Structure 1
Amino acid sequence: MSNTTERYYSENAEGDRMALGDAMLDRVLSHIQNGNQDNALWRHFEKKAQDMRAGLGPVKDPLFLLHSNVYYLRDLLEEADDDEAIEMLDDMERDFF
């Protein structure tokens, strides 16, 4: 397990899973808001994230939303040169997806 994700792990595995998903989703949304607002894919993703956090839609799990878009997320994070988030994504793919 990398140092990047160690801070998210405790005795509560499900809570850790959700904390990591929320942290990654916050980071992705930040990248969308800082330069990708005109991209239809990212506008749609942002709307889905907002709806999910508001309790709308069939699944209220940030990891499900992230997993469903993992390949696009990697591109977004690479374009943003966010190596820490890429490492988090790698950990998430290995541990949760």
Structure 2
Amino acid sequence: MRVKENRRAVRTKHDSVLELQDEKGRAIPGVVRLIDVSAVGVSFASTAPLSKGMRLHGRLRLLRTGPLNIAGRVVRIREGGNVTYYGLEFESVKRAR
């Protein structure tokens, strides 16, 4: 049986580059792998321990849009074996120069 999801925006799977830093500009250690993107946020997997509510910023590189500077906060965390899956809700998205 398929469960209906209450999403605010459609998600698009991506295998693009996602570079993330904490609020002090330090790179998030370990592997960060983008899973999907929507108009309101991104989902990614990482080996780095992050906490709910943590604010992150970084750069998202999409083929059609080009590089974007993003900022947001971690709103979802799900453990999954060797990695943890995170949901980041955008607080700002701007085209990178």
Q: TM-score range by the shorter chain?
A: under 0.3
Higher relative contact order (CA 8 A, sep 6+): 1
Normalized per residue, the structure richer in helix is 1
TM-score scaled by length of structure 1: 0.27
TM-score scaled by length of structure 2: 0.27
